[in-house]
Chains A and B, each alone.
Chain A
């Protein structure tokens, strides 16, 4: 099983700031099969990104993803109020697994 470790656990930022979230895999994720999800309290997760850097339908371009092998990053260029949430990475190169999540909170 591929273990995904997300850091930091919590990020405290203000609206308008840049957020950089990390996801590290215990072994190489094949064919860039990495996705990101956003989850707000009391809601189901929402797909943000797949294939490392392809935004899902309706996701604004302030969200971007990059990385390969074992190290991946989700960047939110300028935080909007609706972006404060928990973010999960997920690999689907093997039996799917999720990271533990990064909470982006208001500073």
Chain B
């Protein structure tokens, strides 16, 4: 069955960077893009961008341009999301999901806490 397994919770200081991983299994990794969505505590879902696992091209939400980088390692079927210059309002659960436009499988989420 399709599974997306994310890396564990992180605590970071303001100004630092965080890199979250998302390991896929149960399907051909390069057949579906990977999207990243975040959810601040008690809030709704926010689309951050997606990456083509076929050619590595990424498309980021304007809000995160210049601060986020999405990459993949096809040899391990793993996607990564790197977010820099962290601020307290980046505290959220970060999800990876399969698909570039509709998201039919999701990772379990990674809590990133930004606190001094």
Contacts and interface: CB of A to CB of B under 8 A. Distances in A.
Nearest to B48: A96
Interface of B: 35, 37, 44-47, 59, 61-62, 95, 97, 101-104, 106-109
Contacts, number: 48
Interface of A: 1, 33, 35, 37, 39, 44-47, 50, 56-57, 88, 90, 92, 95-101
A92 B108 CA distance: 22
A1 B45 CA distance: 15
Contact of B108 (A44, A95, A96, A101): A44
B44 A99 contact: yes
A44 B107 contact: yes
A50 B102 CA distance: 7
Contact of B44 (A1, A88, A95): A88
